Amino acid sequence: MLDLDGCSIGVIGLGYVGLPLAVEFGKQFPTLGFDIDRSRVEELRRGEDRTLEVDSSELQLNSGLRFSADQQDLSLCSVYVVTVPTPIDRHRQPDLGPLRAAASTIAQVLKPGNVVVFESTVYPGATEEVCVPLLEQGSGLTFNRDFFVGYSPERINPGDKQHRLPGIMKVTSGSTPEAADFVDRLYARIITAGTHRAASIKVAEAAKVIENTQRDLNIALINELATIFARLEIDTEDVLAAAGTKWNFLPFKPGLVGGHCISVDPYYLTHKAQELGYHPEVILAGRRINDNMGIYVTERVVKLMTRKRIQVVDSKVLVLGLAFKENCPDIRNTRVIDIIEALQGYNVQVDVYDPWIDPDQAEHEYGIRVHTERPEQTYDAIIIAVAHRQFVDLGANGIHALGKPSHVVFDVKSLLPKEAVDARL
């Protein structure tokens, strides 16, 4: 087993998860941040981070950290940490392509005594069933004799400047008791909040998927309640404020559920359950509710416009925000796109204003052009889809100023008081 003090770290994948991890490891060990995107590597070498998760000073003053897109540079590492995306495909099935590619890349440079730790979200069993065989086949080495693996689920919250990596407790695990001890001690070097050593790799994998599945189901419940309350013509926020006076009421809010975790992770668990012959009803019901919220919002906006005798066809609607959450440039799996596409189905001209995101990335991912500056024209309807601080600063008057003399304002995020909008989610 490796000596902790003599190891060098290779972090594979430098996105929202991998980069903060590489920065922290670089403060303790010689660390290589590896990514197949050469433009990303060059950007980081210049001290720039498009995700806004890491300050330029942390990149430029970290003497233990370097970046590369050259696979051969990984051969100098003794511990590999995999933080590549694990998305779902258009059929909502796990897409393990990036994970398989990372395992195959590591296999080419894997040496006796090395340890490979996976952080990417997977279904329970995937590390040992999918990744380990690729490591063995590509390296010619034997699992748990020549090399070892661990799993430590990522808990990064993009855009959250309060809950940073060192201050979030880390779950760890390993393929043998010795490997588990090594992985736990490795993360203890960078995590000030402490570590929790899981009973097995499968347990650690399962912990990750249920963390976000639980949140998904709670939000689905509130979304369904919001749908009922709208028919009862009562304000959801008023109901939640009243119910929240009880000590054990959980403060979940209705909304669009996107991003790389909450809207994705449950499908990894349900995929494995169905593979084992069990059909998960509650989890998939929650997913259906949350996946349909964009269409629900659109239908409510169209009805409000109709009541005000605003012609829907050829109308102009402004959507405030495309990122999957506030004060963050991350547009991965944003469900705001569902509203945009549903509106376009009514032959509505849709403009999107988001000062946080890269408009070229939005056009590449979703085929839409995004305003990063406040639009000059006025609109028949305005949908507050993301609670960016710029929209908070606009306030009710500023947002209404974006509308025509007769217009609709629908507030998905309850950013404005109920009396300042036509409807809130």
Q: Which residues are annotated as catalytic?
A: 261
CA geometry: angle at 109 spanning 107 and 115, to 5°? 70
Residue reference for tokens 């469900």:
335
